Amino acid sequence: MAKKSQWTLVGKRKLELSNLEKVLFPEDGVTKAEIIEYYLKIAPTLLQHIKGRALTLIRFPDGIHGENFYQKNRPEWAPDWLEFVKLGKEEKKDYIIATEPASLVWLANLASLELHQLHSRKPDFEHPDYMVFDLDPPEGYDFPKIVALALDLRTFIESFGYTCFVKTTGGKGIHICCPLEPKWDFHTVFEAAQAIALPFTERFPKETTLHIKKEARKGRVLIDIFRIRSGQSIVSPYSLRGRIGAPVSMPLTWDELTLVKNPREFNINNAVDK
């Protein structure tokens, strides 16, 4: 592997990219160059979804089998054009905001395979603009069974007057997102989600639970509403995941979701076309 770096122009930004031929997904032979290329191609779509959102990165500098770590803080040595917002305790952290294709390329060069997002948008970081229901299946759960549960949950949520959008997580689960006016704080939105999820788990007690502890779940699907808190994040739509197959969190219509047998159908090789 040639460990050189090379300069490139993305829009009006000059970027130094390193180790472009380094393989970060060994089973799939996917190099850092291909990851950067993916994020460049998906940029017009992805940027719309993460516009104004504070990001959390998951970086895999030594590939998906090497050490990985979350990163929320924008490093001191980031380029001055990379936008950020001070958030968190005492506004201690400079959260990154991606505003242009070059932002995504800069992040990809750091091996930020996964982009996760907070639930609020600039300029109103105190008020989430969606309510998310994160379906977390136990090990070995058949994906079509999660799909069936998601369809039921959708009907249930919409009976409360919300509209539901859905995406695969790129892992084993599903995210249901309900757009909101950024008018209520995190606690209020959490309680609204709880007021929906609790009766849902009571209707399907054998299949679903609100217990986050593994021991208490007993093979049931966790309806994880506990992401709805300030400083918490979910994987962004169209983000890669650091797993074998280079899967992508893929937004789908409900009709499309019905046909999905395996969420690994959506990956770095086909996500751009969709």
Partner DNA sequence: GGTTGCT
Partner DNA sequence: AGCAACCAACGCCAA
Partner DNA sequence: TTGGCG
Query: Which of DNA, Mn ion, none is residue 41 near (CB under 5 to 8 Å by kind)?
Result: none
Residues in contact with DNA, shown as a per-residue x/- string from 64 to 103 under the rule CB under 7 A: ---x-xxxxx-x-x----------xx--xx----------
- Cβ proximity of 43 and 115 under 8 Å: no
143-150 LR contacts (CB < 8 Å, sep 24+) = 143/172, 143/260, 143/261, 143/262, 143/263, 144/260, 144/261, 146/172, 146/173, 146/174, 146/221, 147/174, 147/257, 147/258, 147/260, 149/204, 149/207, 149/208, 149/221, 150/174, 150/176, 150/257
Question: How many other C-beta atoms are found inside a 10 Å radius of the C-beta of residue 185?
Answer: 13
Q: What is the length of the chain?
A: 274
114 contributes a contact to DNA by CB under 7 A = no
213 contributes a contact to DNA by CB under 7 A = yes
Q: Which is nearer to DNA, 80 or 273 (CB)?
A: 80
Binding DNA (rule: CB under 7 A), the pick from 43, 55, 56, 172 is 56
DSSP string, 241-263: -SSTT-BB--EE-HHHHHT-S-G
Q: Closest distance between DNA and the C-beta of residue 161, in Å? A: 26
Binding DNA (rule: CB under 7 A), the pick from 10, 25, 30, 32 is 32
- Cβ proximity of 130 and 123 under 8 Å: no
Binding DNA (rule: CB under 7 A), the pick from 154, 224, 248, 266 is 224
Q: Which is nearer to Mn ion, 85 or 223 (CB)?
A: 223
243 contributes a contact to DNA by CB under 7 A = no
Sign of the Cα pseudo-torsion (166, 169, 172, 177, in order): negative
18 contributes a contact to DNA by CB under 7 A = yes
Q: Closest distance between DNA and the C-beta of residue 47, in Å? A: 21
226 contributes a contact to DNA by CB under 7 A = yes
Site residues for DNA per CB under 7 A: 5, 16, 18-19, 22, 32, 56, 59, 61-62, 67, 69-73, 75, 77, 88-89, 92-93, 109-111, 134, 136, 212-215, 222, 224, 226-227, 229-233
